[in-house]
Structure 1
Amino acid sequence: MTEERHNEEIFSRTGALYEQLLDNHDEKRANQLAAIMKKAADEEVYIAFTGHYSAGKSSLLNTLLGEDILPTSPIPTSANLVVIRNGENRVVLHTTDGAYAEMKGSYDKEEVQRFCKDGDQIETVEVFAPYKEAEPYVAYIDTPGIDSTDEAHFLSAASILHQADALFYVVHYNHVHSEENIMFLRSIKDRIPNLFLIVNQIDRHDETETRFEDYREQVENMLEGEGIPKESLFFTSVTEPDHPLNGLENLKTHLKQLNREAKANLRPLTEQKIAHLVKEHTDMLEKDAKSGAVSEHFDKQDELVRSLQQKLEKTSRQAEEAERDLKTEVQNILQNANLTPFEMRELASAYLESQQPSFKTGFFFSKAKTAAEKEKRQTEFFADIRKRTEGEADWHIIDTFSKAAKRYEADSDDLIMKIQAYRTPLSEDIMKRAVKQGAAFSAEYVLTYTKDLADMIRREAKRRTAELAEELTAYIRAKNNPRAEDLQKQITEEWKTREELAQAAEEERHAEEKAARVRALWEQKGSAGYKGSRDWFTQKKRAVSAPVQKQEPEQPVPLEDINPEKSELKELPLKEQVQRFYQLTGILESSSMLAKQVAAFQSRIKRLENRQFTLALFGGFSSGKSSFANALIGEHVLPSSPTPTTATINKITKPQNGKKHKTADIIFKTEEELHAEMLQLTELKEADVKGLSLKEKWQNAVKKGKVPHDLVQTVRTIIKAYDTYEDPIRKQLTLTVPVEELKPYVAEESSACAVKEVTVYYDSPLTDKGITIVDTPGASSMNKRHTELAFQYIKDADAFFYMTYYQHSFSKGDRSFLRKLGLVKESFGMDKMFFVINAADLAKTESELETVKDYVRSELLKEGIHRPKLYHVSSKEELAGKKEAYYNRFSDVKAGLARFIEEDLMRASAAQLKTEANKLCETVEQLHESLYQSAEEKEKKKQRLQASFEKALADISKRRTSEVIIRKVIKDTEEQLYHIKQRLSLYANDMLKTAFHPGLQNGEWKENIAGALKEALNEFQFEYIQEMKTLDIRMTGFIESHVTEEWMEDCRKKLLEDGFFSIYVSGENEFAIQLKEIAPYIEPSEFTRHLKEVKSPKQFFEQNGKEAFTEGLRLHLQKVTENWLKKERESLVARYTEHVKQLQKDIADKSLSQIKEQQDTYLQGLTESGSDGEIERLFQTSKAWKNQDEMMKI
């Protein structure tokens, strides 16, 4: 068959296939097929570049093509697909609304680059120019980052993959091993004929950290583990072309060869893509046929329509039904009402007798007595009638109408009150009206009379209940009319859906036939009977003028970064202040009267002087925390590695307790911790791993296939590490090693996975100041122990740095962690957060660096962090001892840290000591004043002192058991729990939208959607844990604020008013609440029912299935959250309340002890003689100290 004949056949076959796909309502794959055939008709090779955002895809493409075409920036830029072709100068913009605009001739590169950033208006940008490095038949495609948090960016990146002849996946040198890379490569490897991994920025490699051969082997092992040959790996550097590890030229050579091979194999590559597409479509049809999903959906929809119709019918006839039922029930009540029992007949007989003309009583004054007797009998008879009617009829009528009102949701207050007030309208006149004129009084007539009277009562009741029933039914009609209208509208809409599903169900029943037809269309030879146009695949788009470019948002005027050099300290340096305080104690320590107070003062000075500080480092994966720690110390202390390891807590502190400089203590995890870690990692339960020892348990689990395939190697590594260090693990022995031998325990997975904590002892200017640096696990780690430690350090650390990488600022996990920092920031007494952009030496210009800083500021602001202390450094250049440059301001970091410690951390303690020093001087002044007072004046002063003491004692005792702070804390807790519930609901909404993305269609749909649900539940559970940890930290801040207000301000102020007493209350470790261990549990089986609503990718993404599914999950998670919070509330309130009670008791005890000591001192001065000379000396020297103090303005 000739080439031309073959082409005609394939275009005809695919045209018929296209029509069949549309008939089968698979528009997505129909459009993909059209795109594949358009490419085939143009005889083009598609080479796609995708990967991490800011990994350097655009820069790499610019370099390969020899021209700056694409916009480049260390922050996310590409927002759409950019297709670069060789040809005459022109640009074609494909808009998101299906139109296109063409700009012919030469163009402004900057203008085109702005279009490349406009993902809202522009879907694809085609750039044509006579590029020397680009073959005329090749289209190079640049995509947004696949790890972009923007779903539109992800879809844009994924949409081109079905067309690519080769895909180059570009990652940053420091982020090769991220989970996102592995998952993406795994999902795409079977769809792309030529898949390659480019590790860009290889110039970041440091041979002193890791041998390149070891690094390359790790990456090759990762690829081969995913079934990708190691020959598909390239290392490149755009910034350092001459770097010895740069394989850019090798990539160029390979790319040219690949282009030629792809061009020569366009037909088989095209047929391979079509075959894959056909398989996807037929698999979908056959799965639908087997699942019966649409038919099941139709049955449910049909049932829904019938249910709505029945509801409408019921709603429409409710009023008539209520009127009929009430009439029947009232009739039954009245018929069964025994209105004329024996007692009533006796009263009726007496009444009738009294109405006879001949009736009279007594002989004397008979007229008056007769009238009175008649009145009495009439009153008694009517009272019985009223009582009996109420008991036999009215109460039952009220009950009947009340039930009817409730049943028909007649909830009008006026109507309910009328029902409750119902009484059959009766008057005494009814007794007379029932009497028949001319009837003779007899026993027989009494029976007739009472029967007639009962009938009259029943008629009155029927009349009044009919009126009440009319009011009730009128209300029901008024309320039901809008309901009926809404139901009718809903029925109309649901009926339309039912009809669509009926057609779809009919198609589903023939799905296997359709699948066979599609397969046959592709596999058969010939034209497949296609009668349409040969260029069926050409999209008919309307031409429009170029869209108006979106204005770049004005960059906010950057807040001036904190520069310690610009801040002038107005107070004495801390060291000099401490010396001044010691000078005062030297003056006063000889006084026996002041001995206790001076000793306490000295103790607090020493505590300030010897205070230890903890500096915690947080940051995302490969943000350079270890390198930054080393740069702070000024030496390569902690090993660093570009590949991830099981995180350990690494500390650097000054040698103490006999520890030697440049040594390290290794603390291993316990058997229980290793076991728990593997259970969490594999998501197995205790019952799944059986054996006599840790090793046996997990070896059995691996052999029996219980450990997920992709985690088997990790579990084996942990078991091997346990084997190697079994003795120190089981006996919990601390291993001490020289710093030079530290690397395996920190940076090599084979050992580091068994290590819990490393403490390095190192003499340096920083550690000599009492600062301990703590290098924590990555902020986004979902390991339970890591989370506990991270939040404990947030709470307890004196300061912490959050590290971001210059070219890859924030991941999804980082953002969640930063949101928590935003929440707790205001609860700290001072701003102890520092933010650092590391690796800023990657900045090409100072202007670019400022752009990155503005981006980081704006992203932090989104997470609630205002006015961050933001620095930019290059840890690498700082360690290399290079001269400071605009991109490396490490001196600012060190100065800012020193300023924070000396001015912020120490200032509060120094200020409190200053107050105490002044009080000591005032005490001496009071004693001196007593020297020149008469006995009478001294006695009066004693009385004032005693009165002041009793007043202070009463005030402190009252505060000791006060409920004021407790009530505030309970209010704060309730308020915070409410906001947690709201935030988690919003978080669930955003999380679920991104968790269930179109990429799940690659591979096994049901398996992928179930996996995404499992991952989402784990993520939500982790977010809840973080929220509750954040709550504890915030409540510590609230309690500190309340205690400060109640004791340090109000109580101290009242004491100072009398001038005798003062108290010293230290906040150190008093206000802190030990973080509670949170272990929420989600039962996965409760959520699997939601998966039954998911029928197929088409139903999910194209028929609003995703919206209904995610909303159902969100509501379910909201209910779970409510249950969690309800369960936690009581224990939280109890814990905080108990903490406040204990806190108040401790502060009260210390305060009472202090004022008692002060009282004793005053009394001693007022009563003892012979110490006049000592007091005079103390007064003169302390006065001189105080005057000098004022002059120096401490």
Structure 2
Amino acid sequence: FYTVDYNHVQSELNFKFMKHINDVGIPVVFIINQIDKHQDDELSFSTFKSRVEKSIADWGIKLERTFYVSKFDHPENELEVLSSYLISLDQHRGTIEDYTSRTVEYITEAQLDYIQSEIQEVLEDLGIEEAEFEQAFLNSQQHQAISEEAQLLNNPDELMAFLKNKRKNILENAYIMPHNMREMLRSYLESMSQDFNVGGFFNKKKKKLQIQQQRLLTATDALQEHVNQQIRQPMREDMSFVTRFINKKEASDKVLNQHYDVKPEMIEDLYQPQTSISNTYVLTFSDEVVKAIKKYVEQQSTPIFKEIIENVQADELPTEESDDLKEYQRYTELNELRQSLTTKNYRHYYIHLDESLDKLIGRQETTYQVATDNAQDNRDNQQLNQNTATTNMSIDIQKALDIISDVPLFKRTKQDIHETLTRIDNKLIKIGVFGTFSAGKSSLINALLGEHILVSSPNPTTAATTEISYGDESYITLKSQSQLLDEINAVVEYQDISFSTIEEFINWDLEKLKSHLNKNQLAFIQAVEKHYKLYVNMLENGEKHAINQQELKKWSAEDEYATFVKTVHIALMHDWLKGKIIVDSLGLHSNNQRHTNETEQILTSSDLILYVSYFNHSFTDNDKAFIEHMKDMNQLNENQAFKMVINAADLAESQDDLEAVETYVSDALRQVHLQSDIFAVSSRNALQAEDKGIDQLKQSIQQFVDVESKSILEQQMIHQLQQMDRSYVEMITEFETNKADISRRQQRLTDYKDKQRLQHQLIDATLQHTDNEVEEQVYHLNARLKLQLLDDVKSVFNSQMTQNSDFNEEKKVSTKVYLDQIHQRLFLEQSLITERIKKYFNKQLIEQIAPIVQQLADLHVIVNPQFNFESANIEQPLLHIDFNDMLNALPKQLTKRKILNPNGQRDIHESICQSTLGLLQPQMGLLRQQLELYVKQMAVEAESQFESFEANIQTQINDLLAFDLDTTLINQLKDKHQQLKTILY
């Protein structure tokens, strides 16, 4: 209630204050007091009121009410009306939440305005757009890291202190004596004690010595494994950065291959004779072993440190501190504050405490409430994402390239940008459509195309992958004979049969076999039996065969023919397909190994993933399992995009029903930490008339093809243009202020001329790094499986088995189900590890050459190494257990009686787990060998790409040495810089 004196009603101060209160969002009631001072003979009261109202309107002030009052009688006095108004407000007062939310909103907006202005100021200081921040920050961090490393490496005393401190931290934190390790030492110590006895009457001394040696070796092997994981591996990783600055391969190998061999004597020599072994002595002895190990590591690693210091070379690297780092940190802090305000996370810091308590006491939330605004938020986010993607690509790269085309510098870099632009224009976007069987993938693709093209196979055993692209030549790719034979053997494996050739299968007693097959398997076997000759005749002319539109259903959906097809390639003269290839996948969670393999390949090679879930059973456990696996793959392939599709949305009985499902799916995605656009569509409606959801999905896909898919390459080109522009500025500055730097730079270029900058040693170091990572990945896979396999065992080998009267037959059935489950998991693990190794090799190689790239950048030689390695062609599942081997490995105690007993069941589960891991160990070794071969393959590819980069470097060096900076060129560079500023920054 803002009250003013009659005489001061037109004061600017009053209107300013009320305007401010408006901005805060507080309702204002304007009270003009002492109206008895008004003189009617000077100004009518109505004119006075109209002037007040005009001033209020001019200031843009919003008022709840205006009252004219006085404690004296006056014809215009509204004191009683004001009193009634106050009573009414009191009787209908708003909640405190209205007040607090209004205040918080005002404060939030004010803070956001301030933060945004600060962010803009930081971006202007850095000379970048907000969309470019992440890449620019990474570049700055890399430059800063190299500078800090150079300072450290150029000071031998500091480097030695640094290495020793790293070692000290690793040794202090190494957990090499867990409980199981102490128990192994206890077992050894007990065998050494005077009161330790062995059974039997003869050769007791020899037997005792054998037991002592066996227990000593067991403890030594276990201790070696702990040392490898807790000390050796961290030592290798933490000190590997120095290998980038060592030119002597032998010294580099000592860092990467450092190994601390635990010998039995290190345990044996510490033992002091004891009559019996107490708990105290076990603890004391364990501590002594740990001390001995640490002392041994110090002795062995110090010579390596000295060799590092003798061979490290970092004198050509820049050592200056970057002033921009504080600006980048300032932006990061401001951006976190902005996100906290916009997402309102600042309100929920207490949640983190609750989450910790939940984990501590095992509390779980079981209720579910529909957040009615989530569906709308999701649609808003979709629009925001599209708008953001559109605005981020506002830089005209071609225009910038045209501006600098006549500058006689950086010809190779300009050529690279031109080739990248051409590659973007010709790029074919691969869209993988995934979903569980019968989720509506084929109908969705038909709806996107606007016509019935795909006919989905009702039999997952015979289904084939389908690819659709723009063109006029459709064809099929047949399975190879080995692929078909593998599928036949997979179908009959449970029958304890295996064929070495398809002819052997054809000549078998198939009628007896058919009686044991299910419907889908039977259709597959009958198809092979009926049309094998046709298939062989077709293979004589190759695996690829042209088909017409009328034959599409025959080869894709009819079991008799689809059995022999690996992939159906459909070409359509459909404008919307230009620049796209759509792949209808078969699904990950299939018992057909070929389906899983092909789906995995599609998943890793797709640019955009559409995941289809059916309205009536949206986001099942299989959906969740696939998306979690896809997320793991996406973390390895950052360029992939994902969109969630809810098909058959026309089944919703109301808009509320539809929004509830959208919200459920959105929450489910959030629980697996995946943010995605969600599209509710009706393929049926789209094919009959039209569907808004399909239209939105098509628009979103086109947006991805036209804009988002190009963002990575566009950012690379922008970075190259900015590098050239920065070089222009540096050349101008040096010419005008410090020509001595130009001479020094030219001398260094002369020194670099015709000398290889990217040495093979960089690849060797990367290869060794990655081989160590292979060892680490296989080790952790073993550790994971020890935990994960138990869940699979429990889900299959349980009391449900007793429902079958023939328990031996049930053991066969359960073994087949169990192997199908774990083979799925194992193949996915194999694929993930392979992709991780590929990414790790790429990352290590970029880190190895980073100092060289920095040296060259200081000389205006612009190199942006982007390595492209072929995916590993490991289609065959390496982690595979034979059915009969697993069946024979089942424990003898797996009986009806024991499986019903909780304690007996637990022992059975543990035994099956251990047997499974034992059967997998040879395959683990094979996986490791294949991964090491793949690493060598990437090393060979890296050599070839090094040659290309080296040619680029030498071309740029020759270009820079071929001209002299003069006034004419400097003036040209100034002009180009001014033009580029308006485009790039």
TM-score range, shorter chain: 0.5 to 0.7
What is the rounded CA distance, in whole Å, between the counterparts of 2:523 and 2:419 in structure 1? 55
Shift of 1:1032: 0.9
SS in 1 for 2:879: coil
Which amino acid in 1 is paired with 2:636? Answer: S
The 8 Å contact of residues 1010 and 1091 in structure 1, kept in 2 or not, is answered as no
* Alignment of 1:561 onto 2:378: yes
Tell me which residue corresponds to 1:874. 682
8 Å Cα contact 1:839-1:874 kept in structure 2: yes
CA distance 1:1106–1:685, shift in 2 (3 Å): closer
Aligned to 2:957: 1159
Deviation at 1:993, TM superposition (A): 1.6
TM-aligned CA distance change 1:404 to 1:695, over 3 Å? closer
Q: How does 1:1023-1172 map to 2 (within 5 A)?
A: 1023-1047=825-849, 1050-1056=851-857, 1058-1067=858-867, 1069-1070=868-869, 1072-1075=871-874, 1077-1089=876-888, 1093=892, 1097-1102=896-901, 1104-1136=903-935, 1138-1139=936-937, 1141-1166=939-964
The yes-or-no answer on 1:799 pairing with 2:571 is no
Give the corresponding residue for 1:580.
399
1:1072: Cα distance to partner?
4.5
Distance verdict in 2 for CA 1:1014–1:844, change over 3 Å: same
Corresponding residue of 1:683: 493
Tell me if 1:759 matches 2:569.
Answer: yes
Deviation digits for residues 955-979 of structure 1, max 9, x if unmatched? Answer: 9435753555345434433333233
What SS does the aligned partner of 2:610 have? strand
**Contact kept in structure 1, 2:878 and 2:923, CA below 8 Å:** no
Query: C-alpha displacement at 1:801, in angstroms?
Result: 2.0
Contact 1:620 1:811 in 2 (8 A): no
Residue 596 of structure 1 and its aligned partner are, at CA, apart by 5.2
AA matched with 2:378: D
SS of residue paired to 1:731: coil
Give the number of equivalent residue pairs.
654
- Normalising by structure 1, what TM-score? 0.48
CA distance in 1 between counterparts of 2:214 and 2:555 reads: 73
Q: Which runs of structure 2 are paired with 1:147-546 in the superposition (5 Å)?
A: 403=209, 406=212, 472-475=274-277
Matched, 1:777 2:581: no
* TM-score normalised per structure 2: 0.58
Q: Give the drift of 1:830.
A: 3.8
Identity of aligned residues (%): 19
Q: Is the 8 A contact 1:1040 1:1071 kept in 2?
A: no
- Any residues of structure 2 matched to 1:106-125 within 5 Å, and which? none
Q: Secondary structure at the match of 2:474?
A: strand
**Distance in 2 between the 1:828 and 1:974 partners?**
22
**Structure 2 partner of 1:615:** 431
Shift of 1:475: 4.6
Name the structure 2 match of 1:358.
none
CA distance in 2, matches of 1:967, 1:938: 44
Q: 1:874 is matched by which residue type in structure 2?
A: S
Query: When you count helix as a share of all residues, which structure comes out higher?
Result: 2
Any idea what the Cα deviations from partners look like across 1:372-428, whole Å, max 9, x if unmatched? xxxxxxxxxxxxxxxxxxxxxxxxxxx9999599499999x9xxxxxxxxxxxxxxx
- Candidates 512, 523, 527, aligned match of 1:717: 527
**Shift in Å at residue 714 of structure 1?**
2.7
| Equivalent in the alignment of 1:736 | 546
Q: 8 Å contact 2:758–2:852 — kept in the other structure?
A: no
Contact in 1 for aligned 2:465/2:586 (Cα 8 Å): yes
Deviates more, 1:399-408 or 1:999-1008: 399-408
CA 1:324–1:875 in structure 2 vs 1: closer, same or farther (change >3 Å)? closer
Matched position secondary structure for 2:689: coil
Q: 1:910 aligns with which of 699, 702, 714?
A: 714
Q: Distance between the aligned counterparts of 1:698 and 1:797, measured in 2?
A: 38
The aligned counterpart of 2:820 is 1018
1:695·1:719 contact (CA, 8 Å) conserved in 2? no
Aligned-partner Cα distance in 2 for 1:325–1:670: 62
Amino acid at match of 1:1115: Q
Q: Label 1:1184 to 1:477 Cα distance change in 2 as closer, same or farther (>3 A).
A: closer
Kindly provide the CA deviation profile for residues 654-676 of structure 1, in whole angstroms up to 9, marking residues without a partner as x.
22xxxx2xx52122223343233
Q: What does residue 442 of structure 2 align with?
A: 626
| CA RMSD between the two structures | 4.7
Q: Is the CA contact (8 Å cut-off) linking 1:840 and 1:849 kept in structure 2? A: yes
Measure, in 2, the Cα distance between the counterparts of 1:895 and 1:849: 21
User: After the TM superposition, which of the residue ranges 677-686 and 795-804 deviates more from structure 2?
Assistant: 677-686
Q: 1:1124 to 1:810 in 2, by over 3 A?
A: farther
Distance 1:1006 1:594, change over 3 A: closer
Q: CA deviation at 1:1031?
A: 0.9
**Quick one: which amino acid aligns to residue 428 of structure 2?**
Q
Note the C-alpha offset of 1:639.
2.4
Partners of 1:751 and 1:917 lie apart in 2 by 55
- Which string of whole-angstrom CA distances, capped at 9 and with x for unpartnered residues, describes residues 926-955 of structure 1? 89999x899xx9898455223146469879
Residues 617 and 773 in structure 1, CA contact (< 8 A), matched pair in contact too:
yes
- After TM superposition, give the deviation of residue 474 of structure 1 in Å: 5.0
SS at structure 1 position matched to 2:453: coil
Residues 401 and 808 of structure 1: is their aligned pair in 2 closer, same or farther, counting only changes over 3 Å?
A: closer
Q: 1:787 aligns with which of 589, 596, 600?
A: 596
| CA distance in 1 between partners of 2:934 and 2:951 (Å) | 27
TM-fit CA distance, 1:565: 2.6
Preserved CA contact (<8 Å) 2:477 2:545: yes
Q: How far apart, in 2, do the equivalents of 1:818 and 1:983 lie?
A: 20
Residues 946 and 880 (structure 1 numbering): CA distance in 2 closer, same or farther, change over 3 Å? farther
Change (3 A) 1:667 1:981: same
CA contact (8 A) 1:645 1:752 kept: no
Name the aligned partner's letter for residue 900 of structure 2.
Answer: F
Tell me the residue number matched to 1:652.
468
**SS of equivalent to 1:957:** coil
Matched position secondary structure for 1:627: helix
SS in 2 for 1:982: helix
Shift of 1:650: 0.9
Give 1:633's aligned amino acid: L
Alignment of 1:833-912 (within 5 A): 833-857=642-666, 859-860=668-669, 864-884=672-692, 889-912=693-716
The structural deviation recorded for 1:652 is: 1.1
Candidates 964, 970, 973, aligned match of 2:774: 973
Query: Which of 808, 813, 828 is the aligned partner of 1:1006?
Result: 808
1:1166 counterpart SS class: coil
Following superposition, the deviation at residue 679 of structure 1 comes to 1.9
Q: Is the 8 A contact 1:698 1:715 kept in 2?
A: no
CA contact (8 A) 1:984 1:1024 kept: no
Of 464, 469, 474, which aligns to 1:664? 474
How far apart are residue 677 of structure 1 and its match? 1.9
Structure 1 residues 1128 and 669: alpha-carbon distance in aligned structure 2, compared to 1, 3 A threshold: closer
| Partners of 1:961 and 1:1144 within 8 A in 2 | no
- Report the Cα distance in structure 1 between the residues aligned to 2:881 and 2:717, rounded to whole angstroms: 51
Q: Taking structure 1 as reference, are residues 682 and 991 closer, same or farther at Cα in structure 2, changes over 3 Å only?
A: same
Does the 8 A contact of 1:960 with 1:1148 survive in 2? no
Q: Separation in 1 of the partners of 2:402 and 2:795? A: 65
Which segment is superposed worse, 946-955 or 1028-1037?
946-955
> Greater shift after overlay, 805-814 or 1030-1039?
805-814
Gaps of 5+ in 1: 1-314, 331-398, 414-469, 481-548
Gap regions ≥5 residues in structure 2: 1-189, 220-271, 283-363
C-alpha distance in structure 1 between counterparts of 2:203 and 2:808, whole Å: 56
SS in 2 for 1:742: helix
User: Which residue identity is paired with 2:444?
Assistant: F
Please say which of residues 1114-1123 and 813-822 is displaced more in the overlay: 813-822
Q: Is the 8 A contact 1:945 1:1060 kept in 2?
A: no
